[in-house]
Structure 1
Amino acid sequence: MNGRNLVIAVVLLLGAAVFFFRGIFTPDQPATGAAMVSVTVPELSGPAQDGEALFNRSCATCHGKNAAGQDGVAPPLIHKIYEPNHHGDASFRLAAANGVRAHHWPFGNMPPVEGITETEIRKITLYVRELQRANGVY
């Protein structure tokens, strides 16, 4: 092995060691559960009010009051990532029915929501969309 290859090998080993030990020894940040975004709640339509009650029953435990997310628990749905052009209404239905593999946030996978119907998911989605519009996410 010539000198150049040895230097490259040492640099690669050191880089791998840094990533390895950083992952082991970096303490996880504790989940605070604090709201991740500030949400303005508009005057909701009747169907969205129904959706709010369903959201509070089935989704708020993780996604927080008014879908503001919870630090260390679950993301806010009042966020540009969830605008209809990126995550359409079908995404909400599929997430509730099947769960979601983590891909935008570091919260881990979302399990399916137990005991929720298609009609209830539609009402919840309407509620979230009205919140999004009122908060400039649409």
Structure 2
Amino acid sequence: MHKPAQTWSIAELATQYDVTLRTIRFYEDRGLLTPERRGTVRVYHPRDRVRLGLILRGKRLGFSLDEIATIVDMYDAEPGEEGQLVYLLDQITTRRADLEQRRQDIDETLQELADVEARCQADLKALRSRQRASS
């Protein structure tokens, strides 16, 4: 016996992904999500749920919506189309280099903060020590 695929309402997806209804409608307006319509009710299928997850991950990683659209559309395409795979590999290389640079910048900033914190702690200890000695 065939079990019907699970579906979600817009509110359920919004709750599950911790986004607003407006965010989901925006992605729908951009053509990134295409829920089924039952009258005025949007019904989201597993494909929409996966695509929303990919969109949000792409946003977190700094991809533009156009880049996300291209990549997410590959989710539906037949695998192995050379142009798509080359494009995706190029995007991965570019994004990886950007993220590695950001990681390096963050590591350097954290080290600089640790150095400033250590100096402040030492200055505070010396100041308190002098205050105790003079009282």
**TM-score, structure 1 length as denominator?**
0.27
Whichever of the two has the greater Rg, that structure is 2
Q: Which has the higher contact order (CA 8 A, sep 6+)?
A: 1
Would you tell me which structure has more helix in proportion to its own residues? 2
State TM-score, norm by structure 2: 0.27
